[in-house]
Amino acid sequence: MIVTIDGVAASGKSSVASGVARRLQLPYVSSGLLYRAAALVALDEGLPTDRAEPLLASLEAQPVELRPLPEGNEVWRGSQDLTERLHTSEVDGSVSAVAQLQPLREWVNDHLRQLPPPFVAEGRDMGTNVFPQAEYKFYLTASPRVRAERRVQERTADLESVEAALVLRDARDARQSAPAPDARHIDTGLGNLEQVIAKVLSYLPDPA
Ligand SMILES: Nc1ncnc2c1ncn2[C@@H]1O[C@H](COP(=O)(O)OP(=O)(O)OP(=O)(O)O)[C@@H](O)[C@H]1O
Ligand SMILES: Nc1ccn([C@H]2C[C@H](O)[C@@H](COP(=O)(O)O)O2)c(=O)n1
């Protein structure tokens, strides 16, 4: 079984996906972390984010590994744990450019398609492009303001700046972020996190 949870920035994908996966006792996979890791490598190494070749060469020379652990995804590069450095405003500002590079999308998708089902996968195009065969698909939304009020707790910028950055990222990511025609849409602004997790679980088979 594959469950996909796609949606816009800060709509709650990671939190909902990890909560659903925990209750189903399945791994959960955050595709965004691979794009964030690629963007972090480009930032750390001063590589361009508008051309794939230099960045792909670095990623192939020293591979990145996504570990979908039950307690949360980790991203490692050799002996370096990159996880704690992936959710910053600096990476937020670069990741959309990296995600526009088709060879980088293929690099991410190759990683994802090696994972053995069952799992819960979250991102932008899990239910459309990466796992169109998924049995259960969800698409999360929430207003920019609601999403900014959540995200501002996790960043150092003020609410207005965070909301503007989210709206900009939504626009930059729009090309790959269309919902799957068979995805169930859930407005996460209509309930707290536990209520949204329960809503998703109500559409899924009970764990054996
Ligand atoms: N329904 C909800 N009610 C209240 N808070 C929520 C809800 N869903 C998620 N949150 C909180 O909002 C913040 C952003 O959620 P999360 O990181 O899961 O979003 P995301 O879509 O994965 O973000 P990104 O696209 O940037 O990775 C987190 O602090 C999370 O706990
Ligand atoms: N399947 C995906 C997942 C993510 N992206 C891009 C778009 C986001 O700006 C960025 C980071 O994702 P997030 O951690 O915010 O979910 O990566 C994508 O294009 N496709």
Q: How far is CA 124 from the centre of its chain?
A: 7
Q: Residue 207 pLDDT > 80, yes or no?
A: no
Buried/exposed 150-185: b ≥16 CB within 10 Å, e otherwise: bbbeebeeeeeebbebbeebbebbeebbebbeebee
Q: Assess if residue 170 is contained within a domain.
A: yes
Q: What is the pLDDT of residues 29-68, one digit of tens each?
A: 999 999 999 999 999 999 999 999 999 999 999 999 999 9
pLDDT of residue 72: 84
Proportion of the chain above pLDDT 90, given as a percent: 95
User: Which residues, other chains included, contact 46 with Cβ-Cβ below 8 Å and sequence gap of 6+?
Assistant: none
Q: Please report which confidence band the pLDDT of residue 206 belongs to, taking 50, 70 and 90 as the band edges.
A: confident
Q: Residue 164 pLDDT > 90, yes or no?
A: yes
**Amino acid at position 85, single letter:** R
ipTM: 0.96
**Does ligand 2 have an atom closer than 6 angstroms to the CB of 176?**
yes
Ligand 1, atom nearest to 196 Cα: 1
Stretch 156-161: mean pLDDT: 93
Domain coverage including residue 53: 2-202
Q: Quote the CA–CA distance of 60 and 68 in Å, as a whole number.
A: 20
Best CA proximity match to 144, nearest among 122, 125, 160, 155: 160
Domains contained in the chain, number = 1
Q: What is the pLDDT of residues 57-112, one digit of tens each?
A: 999 999 999 999 877 899 999 999 999 999 999 999 999 999 999 999 999 999 99
For a mutational test of ligand 1's pocket, the pick from 4, 5, 15, i.e. the residue with the most ligand atoms closer than 8 A to its C-beta, is: 15
pTM of the model: 0.95
Tell how far the Cα of 99 is from the centroid of ligand 2, in angstroms.
Answer: 7
Q: Assess if residue 83 is contained within a domain.
A: yes
Of 206 and 49, the structure prediction assigns the larger pLDDT to: 49
pLDDT of residue 115: 92
Q: Assess if residue 147 is contained within a domain.
A: yes
**Does ligand 2 have an atom closer than 6 angstroms to the CB of 31?**
yes
Q: Which one-letter DSSP state was computed for residue 183? A: P
Q: Assess if residue 149 is contained within a domain.
A: yes
Q: What is the pLDDT of residues 117-144, one digit of tens each?
A: 999 999 999 999 999 999 999 999 999 9
User: Which residues, other chains included, contact 155 with Cβ-Cβ below 8 Å and sequence gap of 6+?
Assistant: 88, 89, 92, 162
Q: Assess if residue 207 is contained within a domain.
A: no
Q: Assess if residue 6 is contained within a domain.
A: yes
CATH of residue 55's domain is 3.40.50.300
User: Which residue minimizes the CA distance to atom 15 of ligand 2?
Assistant: 9
